[in-house]
Amino acid sequence: MLTFDIDAESCMLAEGRRYAQQPGLMSHQAFGPKVGVPRILRVLRAEDVRATFFVPGLTAERYPDLIRRIIDEGHEVGHHSHSHRAPLELSEGEERLDFERGMEALDRLGIRPRGHRSALWAATWETAAIAVEFGMDYESNMMDNDRPYVLETGGGTIVEVPPHWSWDDFPQYAYLWDPDVGKNVVAPSQALKVWAEELDAMREWGAALVLNAHPFLSGRASRVRAIRDLIRLARDWGDVAVLSASELADRARTDPAIERRNNDPIHVDPNVYPHE
Ligand SMILES: [Zn+2]
């Protein structure tokens, strides 16, 4: 699965709205929607594969034509919060309000997303239930499998399509001093090696690699090429399907052997773990 989170400016503003006063930083983020996404779309079209773009409401408001174009080109748009603030730092009421604003921003573009990914994967124990409440059919937040599974939230089920850090481009490419998101610039051939070796091994287990790229990082020329090479590698193996998140969720729902889990918060005894 190829997923692209178009965080653009939102993920920096979530660190503090003062960052809006830094045109250099804002331009670093704007590279994603302005240059990265059009390049990625061109590669996806040339390779004839469908991808899933997770879009914060703020990005939908700032770049409506681009988001419409993603849909027009046959790809999927998923919900990715409104503000890109981490749910773990919000109250349940704030998380629900932010979720709703994100839905409204996509709705104004005529988009009804089927799935959700939390900002920074920083879901709370309530997030899955909130996503079901807003009609989501799948989410992509939890790392306790590398195959999709069905999660019972209490208010209904949702398909979890698990991500993982090793399939993300932040550990490879995230480089900024302020805010400090990492000091990483590896050769895209190295990133491709990490992803390709994992994908190759996953074929033994019937697992699902969920590439989680960010156009402001992976939209750079040599990095787009690495994504293209990954797609070609997968196609050459002949036994790898490239699916949108909805397609994968549909397969999971109709698979009689699919794993089913409950959303069980961990309750900790303070006598065992005295430190808050
Ligand atoms: Zn994001």
Q: Are the C-beta atoms of residues 106 and 59 closer than 8 Å to each other?
A: no
Residue 174 exposed, middle or buried by CB count within 10 Å (0-12, 13-18, 19+): middle
pTM of the complete model: 0.97
What is the 170 CA–ligand 1 centroid distance (Å)? 11
Hey, is 134 helix, strand or coil? Answer: coil
Report the domain count for the chain: 1
Domain presence at residue 270: no
pLDDT value of position 251: 96
Average pLDDT over residues 190-201: 98
What is the 76 CA–ligand 1 centroid distance (Å)? 16
Average pLDDT, the chain: 97
Average pLDDT over residues 200-221: 98
What is the 259 CA–ligand 1 centroid distance (Å)? 27
What is the 269 CA–ligand 1 centroid distance (Å)? 33
What is the 212 CA–ligand 1 centroid distance (Å)? 9
- Residue range(s) defining the domain that contains residue 45: 2-262
**CA separation for the pair 110, 25 (Å, rounded):** 31
The DSSP letter of residue 267 is P
Domain presence at residue 275: no
Domain presence at residue 271: no
What is the 122 CA–ligand 1 centroid distance (Å)? 10
In this structure, what CATH number is given to the domain that contains residue 95? Answer: 3.20.20.370
H or E element in which residue 89 lies = none
Domain presence at residue 198: yes
What is the 169 CA–ligand 1 centroid distance (Å)? 11
**CA separation for the pair 88, 118 (Å, rounded):** 10
**Contacts with 150 (C-beta within 8 Å, 6 or more apart), sequence order:** 157, 158, 159, 160, 252, 253, 258, 259, 260, 261
What is the 272 CA–ligand 1 centroid distance (Å)? 35
pLDDT in tens, 60-69: 999 999 999 9
Residue ranges of the alpha helices (H) in 48-168?
57-62, 64-72, 92-107, 127-133
Q: Which residue has the tokens 């045109």?
A: 23
pLDDT in tens, 22-72: 999 999 999 999 999 999 999 999 999 999 999 999 999 999 999 999 999
Pairing of strands 175-176, 149-152: unpaired
pLDDT in tens, 140-187: 999 999 999 999 999 999 999 999 999 999 999 999 999 999 999 999
What is the 7 CA–ligand 1 centroid distance (Å)? 5
Domain presence at residue 169: yes
What is the 257 CA–ligand 1 centroid distance (Å)? 31
pLDDT value of position 3: 98
DSSP string of 156-218? -EEEE----GGGBSHHHH-EETTTT-EE----HHHHHHHHHHHHHHHTTTT----EEE-HHHH
pLDDT value of position 181: 93
| Rounded CA Rg of the chain | 18
pLDDT value of position 266: 94
Q: Which residues surround ligand 1, an ion (CB under 5 A)?
A: 5, 7
pLDDT value of position 224: 98
pLDDT value of position 62: 98
**CA separation for the pair 56, 52 (Å, rounded):** 13
Domain presence at residue 204: yes
pLDDT value of position 234: 96
What is the 81 CA–ligand 1 centroid distance (Å)? 8
Average pLDDT over residues 99-119: 98
Average pLDDT over residues 209-217: 98
**Contacts with 184 (C-beta within 8 Å, 6 or more apart), sequence order:** 170, 171, 172, 173, 174, 175
Q: How far is CA 120 from CA 46, 124, 179, 235, in A?
A: 30, 11, 15, 30
Copy the structure tokens of residue 156.
Answer: 């209904």
Domain presence at residue 273: no
pLDDT value of position 227: 98
pLDDT value of position 70: 98
Copy the structure tokens of residue 90.
Answer: 């919000």
pLDDT value of position 103: 98
pLDDT value of position 35: 98
Residue 239 exposed, middle or buried by CB count within 10 Å (0-12, 13-18, 19+): exposed
Q: Are the C-beta atoms of residues 240 and 230 closer than 8 Å to each other?
A: no
Q: Which residue has the tokens 């899933």?
A: 52
**Contacts with 231 (C-beta within 8 Å, 6 or more apart), sequence order:** 2, 43, 47, 49, 242
Copy the structure tokens of residue 18.
Answer: 């003062």
Domain presence at residue 135: yes
